[in-house]
Amino acid sequence: MDGTQPIRVAHAGSRADGPDGRRSPRGEDAKAFAEARVAALHAGLALTPDQEKLWPPVAEALRDLATLNRTQREARRERGHDPAAQDAPDAIRARADALNARADALRKLADASQPLYATLDEAQKQRAALLSRPIGGPHGPHRHHRDD
């Protein structure tokens, strides 16, 4: 390598397009889809009045996580257009920062959901697990895998 070409570091989930070539939702559309997912989880849990009191911090943490995901996705798109930001050390640092921010948001979600989760019955827990999966199933959003 002569040093003139930047080294690219790829990571899972960095694609802007889905497998069918369509763009993932952006801006207000992405925000609306995230809000719909929060609403679907809330409706699907069919919370009791006592459980309802524990829902607002969970909803806030879910929205914060969705906002972080959108912000990080947009930052990756912007870095993709800036050749100077694509060298390996910069890419590794950016990914480390993104992972730290995501870890913090996930901890906030875990802390916020613990009191509510402790009150859920088994049927609610099963619905929570099903409704909180990424769209497309356990392999992540918009990923379609077949075993055949």
Give the range of the structural domain holding residue 41, as residue numbers without chain letter.
Answer: 27-131
pLDDT at residue 135, rounded to an integer: 60
pLDDT value at 27 more than 80: no
In a domain, 136, yes or no: no
Give yes or no for a contact between 145 and 19, defined as CB atoms under 8 angstroms apart. no
Report pTM: 0.71
In a domain, 142, yes or no: no
In a domain, 79, yes or no: yes
User: What are the distances in angstroms from CA 21 to CA 18, 72, 80?
Assistant: 5, 20, 17
Identify the band that residue 86 occupies on the pLDDT scale cut at 50, 70 and 90. Answer: low
In a domain, 145, yes or no: no
Q: Is 62 exposed, middle or buried (0-12, 13-18, 19+ CB in 10 A)?
A: buried
pLDDT tens digits, one per residue of 54-77: 999 999 999 999 999 999 888 877
pLDDT at residue 123, rounded to an integer: 97
In a domain, 43, yes or no: yes
Q: Write the DSSP string, 27-95.
A: HHHHHHHHHHHHHHHHHHHT--HHHHTTHHHHHHHHHHHHHHHHHHHHHHHHHHT-GGGGSHHHHHHHH
pLDDT tens digits, one per residue of 37-56: 999 999 999 999 999 999 99
In a domain, 13, yes or no: no
β-strand partners of 23: 17
Structural domain total, the chain: 1
In a domain, 148, yes or no: no
pLDDT tens digits, one per residue of 98-137: 999 999 999 999 999 999 999 999 999 999 999 988 765 4
Identify the band that residue 83 occupies on the pLDDT scale cut at 50, 70 and 90. Answer: low
In a domain, 99, yes or no: yes
